Amino acid sequence: MRILRIVFLPLLIFIFSLPSTSAQECYWIFFRDKNNTSFDPATYFHPKAIERRLQQGLPPCDSTDFPLNGQYKSQTAALSEEVMGESRWFNALAVKTFQIEDILALPFVKNVQRIDGDFLPATVETDIAEDNTSTPTQLTEQLYLMKGEAFAEQGIDGKGLRIAVLDGGFKMADTHPAFQHLRDEHRIVATYNFPLKKENVYGWDSHGTMVLSCIAGIDEHGRPLGLATGAEFLLARTETGLENRIEEVWWQMGMEWADRNGANIINSSLGYGKDRYNPDQMDGTSLVAKAAQMAAAKGILVCNSMGNEGDDRTWRTIITPADAEGVLAVGGIDRDGNPSSFTSLGPTSDGRLKPNVSAMATRVDVANPSRNNLYTKASGTSFASPLTAGFAACAWQTHREWSCQQLLAEIEKSGSLYPYYDYQYGYGVPQADYFTQASPAPKSPTVKLYQTDSAIFIVVPDECIRDKNLLYHIAQPDGRLVEYRTVLIKERENIVKVQKSSYRNIDGWVLRAHYNGYTIEYHSDKDHLEPFPKEQYSQRIYWRSSEIHTAATDQPRVRGVNARYNFAPYFSLGFPVPTGGRMSTNMGDIVKGGSSVSFVVGIRYKHNFCKWYSLGGNLELGGTWYRLKYPAFHSKVIHTEQLWPFYELSMGHLTAEIYQRFRLAAGGLFGYGVFFDTGIYGRWNFGCRQTIGDKGIRVRERDDQHVVNRLEWGVRARLGYDIVSVYVQYRISRLIAPPVESIDCPHLEVGAQLTLPFGK
């Protein structure tokens, strides 16, 4: 009976771990209608919510604001283990249930959508570093990049605007001196903690505190850390990191809560990307992206960080809901105006232009509730988004008659690069003086275009050289980029040559070049340029680019830990466990426990079907050395009449395995995360050799291919984190094909495995 349990337990694990709709999962349950419901917008909405809608020509309410049908909710809840949340906007209930088939059979259920997730926080990462070199000035550096002094000089600080901040917690925001002015004037008007279903949000995580400071904080020198120090605030905690499969539910509910409480702007320095989705899903179709679009339709400007996946070649796109149409997606730059190394790149997977704009994301001044120093530097697009949200509040204050989509368009036009665009910068950093000047000052040309029959030449005149980056892109007529490049212009390296033949298959392509605040355009189907003065510039053509981005190089890799498929070598060290292996004389175990060892090198293939499930195969070559005991049976094992104290049986083996992987938690340091594998293996044994010896002197007695079975098979299971895993395997074939001749080797083996990830 003990042997049967050992044999069939791994097999049962393999069978029952297959995906099943009967397992408890999380789902959005979408209802067909909202029949028999009533709604009074005057009692449900804060007056500012109705004011916002009417101001933008929207009705005070519509059917998406109506509550869910109470009977639908109660009948669905009766078939669920837990109700996690609900959405008026999408007429849906979020539940955990074992009975999804029964719920689908309810007549009022339209469809269901599984809520996928991992067990790690979805917030974008921050890189915190102490910095005590700050000196008192009028504005912090991050605001000078936005020309924030233009707002400050006119007393524009976001007054009259209400900003909602969705995050993982606001530790010490109720006591931190950076927000004393908000507390004194009671401008934190509402809070809600969705995971705990209560109002207190002042704890759990410092990320939200840092984000809030980039909108409205004031540091110890009296300098604003963000531009909207006069705005009102709604603070919502929607993240925990403990059960994040429902964090998108809380995010959705946070959006509706912000709408109900009169938010004009929502900042979300959160996003959901490679830990939950695949790159081709970043097309604005996730439910959180649809929620962001719904908020925009209700007159709310949503600012969302692009994410910090820019240096991950298996992702190479943005996160959701930054991919949503109508959302102001914000990328990150450093103090010198160069893209932050981590900022995610556009476009969306369906080719739309993202990011919209950029803001400072590297070593940003923030309030710091986690250290003795109350202010510090932090990095991440988490901070570029709130800087832009504060900017947007000030811009909207200057033109309250604008709709949120008009505001978004004007913020793009205020960008430091506009009308130039690329997938790193967007339209550049928004500039405050665009909204405060009666008419913008004319820009002096800093770049010229010439042509020959085969090429376009981009020339920076000598008098304009400032040791800055020249940016240029090639765009299709619909605006999507074919290629974009960055060139550092230095003395006598001020000409770039663009071959026309590279774009001969694109009708109407457009070239835009930007240098030191000035953008010039060339439309291939209608513009004519002066001939290139070859004699004047014959020795001064700059042939190479410091950074090159094309439609091909910016595509996500299909190979890699988090990509579609992955090849990786690995090494295993195993230890056969005596579990009743017997000689033909039925006299007990013949293998010494602890001194037998197995070593394997292999190559693994893994195909990711989704973020939590993969299928794959292994091919491995190895060897096993069994230390034998009971020398009294030497005549049957070694075939000699002399007794020796050392007996060893060794063999090589070639093994193939088919396995399935369940990823239990998102990628860690090397991208694999926590995983559990179950598989079936087949093994071919060869080179079987018996060895005897004494006192360190080994005498090979004979090679024998008939002591053990050549072909074996069994089941295997692995549990691992990133590159390290432990495994157990059991040889089942011994039950079908008894061991030949005299030896039944151990059928249970445990060990450890080290994998070398490629292509992350």
Q: Report the sign of the C-alpha dihedral through residues 547, 551, 554, 559, in that order.
A: negative
The model's pLDDT over 579-601, given as tens digits with 9 standing for 90+, comes to: 654 433 333 456 665 678 999 99
Question: Can you give the pLDDT at residue 490?
Answer: 74
Does a structural domain hold residue 4?
Answer: no
Average the pLDDT over each of 121-135, 206-220, 456-470 and give the range with the smallest value: 121-135
Name the β-bridge partners of 36.
Answer: none
Query: For residue 545, what pLDDT band results from cuts at 50, 70 and 90?
Result: very low
Residues 39, 133, single domain; the answer is: no
Average pLDDT, the chain: 82
What totals of helices (H) and strands (E) does the chain contain, helices first?
17, 31
Residues 276, 349, single domain; the answer is: yes
> What is the spatial distance between Cα 506 and Cα 551, in angstroms, rounded to a whole number?
13
Residues 505, 370, single domain; the answer is: no
Does a structural domain hold residue 334?
Answer: yes
For residue 344, pLDDT over 80 is answered with yes
**Helix, strand, or coil here: 63?**
helix
Do residues 609 and 274 make contact, with C-beta atoms less than 8 angstroms apart?
no
CA atoms within a 13 Å half-sphere pointing along the CA-CB vector of 675: 31
Does a structural domain hold residue 121?
Answer: no
Tokens of 629: 């005991």
Domain span holding position 56: 21-114
Q: Residue 173 is which amino acid? A: A
Residues 83, 141, single domain; the answer is: no
CA distances from 96 to 85, 89, 234, 276 (A): 10, 20, 29, 18
Do residues 376 and 338 make contact, with C-beta atoms less than 8 angstroms apart?
no
Residues 275, 389, single domain; the answer is: yes
CA distances from 113 to 92, 270, 390 (A): 10, 22, 35
For residue 14, pLDDT over 50 is answered with no
Choosing from 114, 147, 165, the residue where a domain stops is 114
What CATH number did the domain enclosing 284 receive?
A: 3.40.50.200
For residue 357, pLDDT over 90 is answered with yes
Residues 518, 643, single domain; the answer is: no
The model's pLDDT over 362-376, given as tens digits with 9 standing for 90+, comes to: 888 898 887 677 888
Rounded mean pLDDT of 202-222?
89
Residues 86, 156, single domain; the answer is: no
Choosing from 378, 402, 435, the residue where a domain stops is 435
3-class SS string, 619-668: EEEEEEEEEECCHHHHHHHCCCCCCCCEEEEEEEEEEEEEEEEEECCCCC
Selection from 229, 237, 236 nearest residue 187 by Cα: 229
Query: Helices 381-398 and 404-413 meet at what angle, rounded to 10?
Result: 110
Query: For residue 543, what pLDDT band results from cuts at 50, 70 and 90?
Result: low
Does a structural domain hold residue 5?
Answer: no
Question: Can you give the pLDDT at residue 164?
Answer: 95
Do residues 288 and 276 make contact, with C-beta atoms less than 8 angstroms apart?
no
Question: Can you give the pLDDT at residue 187?
Answer: 92
Question: Can you give the pLDDT at residue 16?
Answer: 40
Residues 525, 501, single domain; the answer is: yes
Query: For residue 13, what pLDDT band results from cuts at 50, 70 and 90?
Result: very low
The model's pLDDT over 244-295, given as tens digits with 9 standing for 90+, comes to: 567 888 999 999 999 999 999 999 998 888 777 878 888 888 889 999 999 9
Tokens of 398: 């200057």
Question: Can you give the pLDDT at residue 444?
Answer: 85
Q: Residue 2 is which amino acid? A: R
Rounded mean pLDDT of 192-220?
89
For residue 135, pLDDT over 80 is answered with no
The model's pLDDT over 648-695, given as tens digits with 9 standing for 90+, comes to: 788 899 999 999 999 887 666 677 888 999 999 999 988 888 777 665
For residue 704, pLDDT over 70 is answered with no
pTM beyond 0.95, yes or no: no
Question: Can you give the pLDDT at residue 612?
Answer: 77
The model's pLDDT over 80-92, given as tens digits with 9 standing for 90+, comes to: 988 989 999 999 9
Residue, of 138 and 8, whose pLDDT is higher: 138
Choosing from 412, 435, 458, the residue where a domain stops is 435
> What is the spatial distance between Cα 103 and Cα 458, in angstroms, rounded to a whole number?
63
The model's pLDDT over 405-446, given as tens digits with 9 standing for 90+, comes to: 999 999 999 999 999 999 989 999 999 999 998 777 778 889
Do residues 475 and 509 make contact, with C-beta atoms less than 8 angstroms apart?
yes
Selection from 337, 380, 385, 386 nearest residue 361 by Cα: 380
Tokens of 554: 């910016």
Does a structural domain hold residue 15?
Answer: no
Do residues 480 and 351 make contact, with C-beta atoms less than 8 angstroms apart?
yes
Tokens of 249: 């539910």
What CATH number did the domain enclosing 642 receive?
A: 2.40.160
Does a structural domain hold residue 1?
Answer: no
Query: For residue 632, what pLDDT band results from cuts at 50, 70 and 90?
Result: very low
Stated as kind and residue range, the H or E segment containing 293 is helix 287-297
Residues 246, 305, single domain; the answer is: yes
Residues 398, 492, single domain; the answer is: no
Burial class (CB in 10 A: 0-12, 13-18, 19+), 203: middle
Residue 735: count of CB within 10 angstroms of its CB? 11
Question: Can you give the pLDDT at residue 585?
Answer: 37
**Helix, strand, or coil here: 300?**
coil
Rounded mean pLDDT of 289-304?
94
Rounded mean pLDDT of 221-227?
89
Residue, of 538 and 723, whose pLDDT is higher: 723
What CATH number did the domain enclosing 500 receive?
A: 2.60.40
Residue, of 19 and 760, whose pLDDT is higher: 760
Name the β-bridge partners of 755.
Answer: 570
> What is the spatial distance between Cα 111 and Cα 632, in angstroms, rounded to a whole number?
71
Q: Give Cβ neighbours of residue 707 (< 8 Å, ≥ 6 apart).
A: 637, 649, 688, 690, 740, 741, 742, 743
Residue 679: count of CB within 10 angstroms of its CB? 22
The model's pLDDT over 58-80, given as tens digits with 9 standing for 90+, comes to: 999 899 999 999 999 999 999 99
**Helix, strand, or coil here: 565?**
strand
Does a structural domain hold residue 441?
Answer: no
The model's pLDDT over 392-405, given as tens digits with 9 standing for 90+, comes to: 999 999 999 999 99
Residues 429, 473, single domain; the answer is: no
Query: For residue 386, what pLDDT band results from cuts at 50, 70 and 90?
Result: very high
Residue, of 741 and 288, whose pLDDT is higher: 288
Average the pLDDT over each of 224-238, 484-498, 515-529 and give the range with the smallest value: 484-498
Query: For residue 574, what pLDDT band results from cuts at 50, 70 and 90?
Result: very high
For residue 358, pLDDT over 90 is answered with yes
Average the pLDDT over each of 190-194, 342-346, 630-634 and give the range with the smallest value: 630-634
Does a structural domain hold residue 12?
Answer: no
Residues 133, 273, single domain; the answer is: yes
Q: Of all residues in the chain, what percent carry a pLDDT higher than 90?
A: 41
Tally of domains within the chain: 4
Tokens of 46: 């804060």
Question: Can you give the pLDDT at residue 199?
Answer: 87
For residue 26, pLDDT over 80 is answered with yes
